Amino acid sequence: MNILVTGGAGYIGSHTCVELLEAGYNVTVVDNLSGSSRKAVERVENITGKNISFYEADICDKNTLFDIFDREKADAVIHFAALKSIPDSVARPLEYYNNNVTGTINICEAMKKFGVSKIVLSSSAAVYGKTTELPVKESSPLLPVNPYGRTKLIQEQIICDFCGSINGASVILRYFNPVGAHKSGLIGEDPKGTPSNLVPYISQVACGRLKQLNIYGDDYETPDGTGVRDYIHVVDVAKGHIKAIEKLNHEKSGNFIFNIGTGKGYSVIEMMKSFEKASGKNIDFVFSSRREGDVDACYADVSLAQRELGWKAEYGIDDMCSDAWKWQKLNPEGYR
């Protein structure tokens, strides 16, 4: 079975390619490398001893995308390719709408033209926005609070409408906070510029690239006053995609939406302490003001994925932090 993976050179995409290849799937990657490196694909090939059919191409370029679909005869698509920085999306919303929304429409058009009727979409907890219901269920209100989150919700709607129109099937995975790296230390998260997410920031403080962690807020309604999130090991996230593909092999049509988290919340301070233990380094930090748009706590109800996908996270925060640290230590400048 051939899986066409958009954004397969990226953080979650590269980890998913490892799991796909190890499970015996053939993999085609389409990535314009705007947020990643060709090296990630080479390292996936090194880890698995298998080849990837790689195209450096932009999914917004419809003609090139059609050529790739024509040549590769995909059985299903996993669609990761997107821009994903929340602050960036506030500064450059049109770029985000163009890339994430137009790109998704092009993928659907290519699927229609070449008779592909199964797709897995990367969505995000960002579609829930200012959550009041905890744990967050798939049926919780969808009120994204930034352009990035809105592009993710629009992507979901496009995919559902499209699959409805062709009698196809989709699995939409709403990831919470993916962190960590592959056990080999060969692939991991490599943000461009200063990281905005917590674990990459802590990692760069631990290895001396950044001076000090700013903890955004110490007066949240949480046990220690710092924000609580549902961190999930990226390898668990990747494995969720194998279950999603298996689900699509059983279901001919319909749209299926799942939260992908552990169901447990940890605070910024708990993550920092766990990272200190894993790395043996002290993380210098200072409390600063709350970051706009942040909520007190956000963690998933993961019972639906467990029941309907047969998927459950296996790793805890100690693995997340020690694997993130191994990647950072072996690759202090990322793939550069």
Give the x-and-dash track for 70-99 against ligand NAD (CB under 6 A): ----------xxxxx--------------x
In the complex, least distance from residue 296 CB atom to ligand WQD, rounded to whole angstroms: 9
Least separation in angstroms between residue 246's CB and ligand NAD is 20
> Which residues, at least 6 apart from 101, have a Cβ–Cβ distance to it below 8 Å?
151, 154, 155, 158
Asked if 186 and 177 count as a contact pair (C-beta separation under 8 A), the reply is no
Tell me, residue by residue from 85 to 114, as one string, x for binding to ligand WQD by CB under 6 A and - for no binding.
-x----------------------------
Minimal distance, residue 226 CB to ligand WQD, in Å: 7
128 catalytic? Reply is no
Neighbouring C-beta atoms of residue 70, cutoff 10 Å: 11
> Considering beta carbons, is residue 54 or 220 the nearer one to ligand NAD?
54
Q: Is 294 in the site for ligand WQD (CB under 6 A)?
A: yes
Task: Name the phi and psi angles at 304, rounded to 5.
Answer: -65, -45
Near ligand WQD in 193-252, by CB under 6 A:
196-198, 201, 213-216, 227, 229
Short-list 81, 148, 64, 83, CA closest to 121: 81
Question: Shortest gap between Cβ of 96 and ligand WQD (angstroms)?
Answer: 12
Contact 18, 187 (CB under 8 A): yes
Query: Which string of DSSP letters, residue by residue, matches 205-223?
Result: HHTTSSS-EEEE-S-SSST
Q: Which of 11, 128, 148, 266 is catalytic?
A: 148
Stretch (H or E) spanning 66: helix 62-72
- Give residues in contact with ligand NAD (CB under 6 A): 6-7, 9-13, 31-36, 58-60, 80-84, 99, 103, 122, 124, 175, 178
Which sequence positions are flagged as catalytic? 148
